[in-house]
Amino acid sequence: MSRITDLFERKELRVLNVYCTAGYPQLESTLPVMSALQTAGADLIELGMPYSDPLADGPVIQASGLTALKNGMTISILFEQLKDFRKDVSVPVVLMGYLNPLLQYGFEKFCAQAAQLGIDGLIIPDIPMFEFESEYRSVLDKHGLDFIFLVTPETSEERILKLDSLSSGFLYAVSSSSLTGSDKDFTPVESYLQRLASMRLKNPVLVGFGVKDKATFDMACEHANGAIIGSAYIKALDGAASIEKTTEDFVNTILK
Amino acid sequence: MNSPQVNKYTTPNEQGYYGKFGGAYIPEMLVRNVEELLSQYLSIIEEASFQKEYQQLLQDYVGRPTPLFFAERLSKQYRTQVYLKREDLCHTGAHKVNNTVGQILLAQRLGKKRIIAETGAGQHGVATATVCALKGIECIVYMGSKDIERQAPNVARMKMLGAKVIPATSGSKTLKDATNEAIRDWINNPNDTHYIIGSVVGPHPYPDMVARFQSVISKEIRQQLMLKTGSELPSHVIACVGGGSNAAGAFYHFLEEESVQLVAVEAAGHGVDSGMSAATTQLGRDGILHGSRSLLMQTEDGQVIEPHSISAGLDYPGIGPLHAHLYDSGRGTFLYATDAEALEASFEVAKLEGIIPALETGHAFAALKKLSLTEKDIVVICLSGRGDKDLATYMKVMEHAD
């Protein structure tokens, strides 16, 4: 059983997934941030691999990625940093990134190494569904990695079912058709999440985009298995004196 | 990727691939927008009422057909026969408007109330602002904050035409970032907004759609050449390539005519190996940018490299998937011209023909020196735009020369 599936067997509700950018705020922050998130009570970690042109991210996460790139972060360096991370981090970790850097690294090599390091799954928002089926799915299966697709309020019911069937671990429900860290009103999202809940999907659902505080986390959790917080945490890390303290305070405000 | 292709080069397959390039590498948030367009663009374009309105506007508003001009002194200089396709005489001063006229009519038929666009040099932004004014539709243009500084006249034009110009301040603050910002806007406004991409780039069906709207260039060249030379087919067609929209339009109706040599000229900036270049086929590898697989200038780690060219319109780290396929298959001849060579060519055309071309087009003219041409050759150069917007750059060159 995958670490992610195991998590949802133990904990069905109020699962907190926090996004962080590898190599942010400092190149060497990757592991301290992950450890701090686990200690503070995050159930799952989404570790973003920085990319120069991240189409599916908002300005805060893009800026953190540019900082990480300036810090010198690459996939090779990240894998070096993650060499022994399973000694300290036991919560599931999914890597989020864009297809181009993975293709340049070599998709199969990437998956093999990630799996060997103890990574549990991938989120790559720009892989086309049909190519996933024809080219990538078998590679992920071979290395035992979960793959998480995104769905949005604009995604048709038929397509949601298809994306759910192709996903494993969990399904990422984009809260609205807007980008991460947006300040739009969260209320209209409820009916969409209710619709998802009524579809009896195969995977647990985590809600992302626009989840930024206790109120939005609680609301997301009313209709889904949990939520993903990204931009708000990246903002909190910006200029933080202590990663541990900042992370603890941040997670506490969400969970309390 | 298995559907049969009627034409080898002209039309992508059902998934939007030209050879191995193209496709739609987009996040789920864009899928609905792109699929809405994909499911309707061909049927809308083929409607009689659409064609009637499009052709009427091309004629009465854009000023088509644009002349095919025999450049006598240039021909003498290079001992060949040079014809210039005068896209610089289009309304707004470049070929870009052929596409924006088509897309605004499409947007209307899709029921869209709001138009977004990206622009580098500002030519596509101006062409978009123009058709939005014509149709009374709200227009938002994303432009890199660096480009806003260096292309002030075009920024003023867009504003005068009623468009809102939003600076792209992310990343390198140029065309690729303006494109990222426009795509983000589209994600945030999925229902009422149409995104008018200015080149043959982006996710399927954009490369095909923009190529179709620009294909009027080569359609006219064939007819005009027939009248002037007795043959529809030249020996060469030369065009500059950034993303590649004027080249796509100038090549389109010659793509399946293998006797016609298609010459694409990229911008080499300070030189291909200088680290300040935009010659994608020389420097790029297979990669993904702005939703399609193509050749891409990138680091070893797959991060997109910021290109350089003296002409903002060619300052793009990728190339349309059609062109990547022409390069990969050998159907196209890919040359490059440096900033200096393009400038020299622009000044030569000005002096010999009384036409001041855009800096982008200067790159196409620079190919005349690089090809071995004979007196029998019939060479058509796509004069994609006029040089008014580049006067500041040309003035600097003249100051240095004095």
Q: What is the pLDDT of residues A181-202, one digit of tens each?
A: 555 566 678 889 999 999 999 9
Angle among Cα A50, A52, A56 to the nearest 5 degrees reads 75
Q: Which residues of A touch B289 (CB under 8 A)?
A: 53, 100
* DSSP for residue B93: G
Residues B201 and B278 in one domain: no
- Mean pLDDT for the stretch of residues B234-247: 97
Judged against a pLDDT cut of 70, whether residue B64 lies above it is answered with yes
| Number of Cβ within a 10 Å radius of residue B39 | 10
Tell me whether residue B47 is in a domain.
yes
pLDDT in tens, B217-234: 999 999 999 999 999 999
Q: Which residues of B touch A183 (CB under 8 A)?
A: none
Q: Which residues of A touch B29 (CB under 8 A)?
A: 56, 150, 152, 154, 174, 177-179
| Confidence tier at B151 by pLDDT (50, 70, 90) | confident
Provide the b/e sequence for A111-130 (b: ≥16 CB within 10 Å).
bebbbebbbbbbbbbbbbee
Judged against a pLDDT cut of 90, whether residue A13 lies above it is answered with yes
pLDDT at B1: 43
Does the beta carbon of B182 lie under 8 angstroms from any beta carbon of chain A?
Answer: no
pLDDT at B370: 98
- Mean pLDDT for the stretch of residues B44-57: 98
- Mean pLDDT for the stretch of residues B239-263: 97
Measure the CA–CA gap between B383 and B90, rounded to whole angstroms: 11
- Stretch among A176-180, A197-201, B234-238, B358-362 having the lowest mean pLDDT: A176-180
- Stretch among A69-78, B252-261, B307-316 having the lowest mean pLDDT: B307-316
Q: Which residues contact A138 (CB under 8 A, 6 or more apart)?
A: none
Measure the CA–CA gap between A36 and A251, rounded to whole angstroms: 10
Residues B115 and B53 in one domain: yes
Tell me whether residue B263 is in a domain.
yes
- Listed residues B158, B184, B210: the one ending a domain: B210
Tell me whether residue B8 is in a domain.
no
- Listed residues B158, B177, B210: the one ending a domain: B210
Task: Please classify residue A5 by burial: count the beta carbons closer than 10 Å to its beta carbon, then call 0-12 exposed, 13-18 middle and 19+ buried.
Answer: middle
In this structure, is the dihedral angle defined by the CA atoms of residues A79, A81, A84 and A90, taken in order, positive or negative? negative
**Range of B190's domain?**
25-59+96-210
- Terminal-residue alpha carbon distance, chain B: 58
pLDDT at A185: 62
Structure token digits, residue A90: 């036991």
Indicate the residue of B23, B26, B288 with minimum beta-carbon distance to A100.
Answer: B288
- Mean pLDDT for the stretch of residues B373-391: 96
Q: Which residues of A touch B (CB under 8 A)?
A: 51-53, 55-56, 58-59, 62-63, 66, 69, 74-76, 98-105, 125-128, 130-131, 134, 149-152, 154-155, 159, 163, 174, 177-179, 182
Block residue for tokens 């609680």: A218
Residues B228 and B139 in one domain: no
Which of A150, A154, A160, A162 would you mutate first to test chain B, the one with the most B CBs within 10 A?
A154
Structure token digits, residue B324: 């990547």
Residues B41 and B103 in one domain: yes
Does the beta carbon of B180 lie under 8 angstroms from any beta carbon of chain A?
Answer: yes
Measure the CA–CA gap between B322 and B48, rounded to whole angstroms: 27
| Confidence tier at B254 by pLDDT (50, 70, 90) | very high
Do residue A127 and residue B25 have CB atoms under 8 angstroms apart? yes
pLDDT in tens, B168-177: 988 778 888 8
Long-range interactions of A127-132: CB distance < 8 A, separation 24+:
A127/A99, A127/B25, A128/B23, A128/B24, A128/B25, A128/B26, A129/A162, A129/A163, A129/A166, A130/B15, A131/B23, A132/A166
Do B171 and A53 meet the contact criterion of CB atoms below 8 Å apart? Answer: yes
Judged against a pLDDT cut of 60, whether residue B5 lies above it is answered with no
Q: Which domains does chain A have, with CATH numbers?
A: 3-147+221-247 (3.20.20.70)
Assess whether B199 carries a catalytic annotation.
no
Number of inter-chain CB pairs under 8 A, A vs B? 109
Give the distance from CA B158 to its chain's centroid: 19
Tell me whether residue B148 is in a domain.
yes
- Stretch among A72-76, B118-122, B347-351 having the lowest mean pLDDT: B118-122
**Strand A15-21's sheet: what is its strand order?**
A146-147, A121-123, A93-96, A44-48, A15-21, A226-229, A205-208, A171-174, A150-151
| Confidence tier at B4 by pLDDT (50, 70, 90) | very low
> What CATH number does the domain containing B356 carry?
3.40.50.1100
Long-range interactions of B30-34: CB distance < 8 A, separation 24+:
B30/A55, B30/B183, B30/B186, B30/B187, B30/B203, B30/B291, B31/A152, B31/A154, B31/A155, B31/A159, B32/A152, B32/A154, B32/A155, B32/A177, B32/B190, B33/B186, B33/B187, B33/B190, B33/B195, B34/B203, B34/B204, B34/B205, B34/B291
Judged against a pLDDT cut of 90, whether residue A3 lies above it is answered with yes
Tell me whether residue B4 is in a domain.
no
pLDDT at B166: 97
Residues B51 and B191 in one domain: yes
pLDDT in tens, A19-36: 999 999 999 999 999 999
What is the model's pTM? 0.95
Do B332 and B323 meet the contact criterion of CB atoms below 8 Å apart? Answer: yes
Write down the catalytic residue from A9, A43, A46, A84: A46
Judged against a pLDDT cut of 70, whether residue B348 lies above it is answered with yes
Query: Which stretch of DSSP H or E encloses residue B379?
Result: strand B378-382
Structure token digits, residue B347: 């000044």
| Number of Cβ within a 10 Å radius of residue B355 | 20
Do B129 and B163 meet the contact criterion of CB atoms below 8 Å apart? Answer: yes
Do B318 and B297 meet the contact criterion of CB atoms below 8 Å apart? Answer: yes
Residues B194 and B253 in one domain: no
| Confidence tier at B381 by pLDDT (50, 70, 90) | very high
Measure the CA–CA gap between A12 and A107, rounded to whole angstroms: 32
Q: Provide the number of structural domains found in chain B.
A: 2
pLDDT > 70: percent of chain B:
98
pLDDT at B2: 44
Do A196 and A173 meet the contact criterion of CB atoms below 8 Å apart? Answer: yes
Which of A70, A104, A110, A180 would you mutate first to test chain B, the one with the most B CBs within 10 A?
A104
Judged against a pLDDT cut of 90, whether residue A176 lies above it is answered with no
CA distances for A124 relative to A57, A147, A209, B156, B294, angstroms: 12, 8, 15, 40, 19
Residues B76 and B122 in one domain: no
Residues B318 and B255 in one domain: yes
* DSSP for residue B87: G
- Stretch among A50-59, A154-163, A169-178 having the lowest mean pLDDT: A169-178
Judged against a pLDDT cut of 70, whether residue A229 lies above it is answered with yes
Measured in residues, chain A has a length of 256
pLDDT at B258: 96
Measure the CA–CA gap between B73 and B84, rounded to whole angstroms: 12
Tell me whether residue B16 is in a domain.
no
Tell me whether residue B282 is in a domain.
yes
Residues B231 and B298 in one domain: yes
Measure the CA–CA gap between A66 and B304, rounded to whole angstroms: 12
Residues B115 and B225 in one domain: no
Q: Which residue of B has its CA nearest to A178?
A: B188
Judged against a pLDDT cut of 90, whether residue A224 lies above it is answered with yes
Assess whether A57 carries a catalytic annotation.
yes
Judged against a pLDDT cut of 80, whether residue B111 lies above it is answered with yes
- Mean pLDDT for the stretch of residues A237-247: 96
DSSP E strand boundaries for B2-57: 17-18, 21-22
Paired sense of beta strands A226-229 and A15-21, if any: parallel
Residues B106 and B187 in one domain: yes
Query: In whole numbers, what is the pLDDT of chain A averaged over residues?
Result: 94
Q: Which residues contact A218 (CB under 8 A, 6 or more apart)?
A: none
Do A239 and A30 meet the contact criterion of CB atoms below 8 Å apart? Answer: no
| Confidence tier at A175 by pLDDT (50, 70, 90) | confident
Residues B396 and B269 in one domain: yes
Tell me whether residue B2 is in a domain.
no
Query: In whole numbers, what is the pLDDT of chain B averaged over residues?
Result: 95
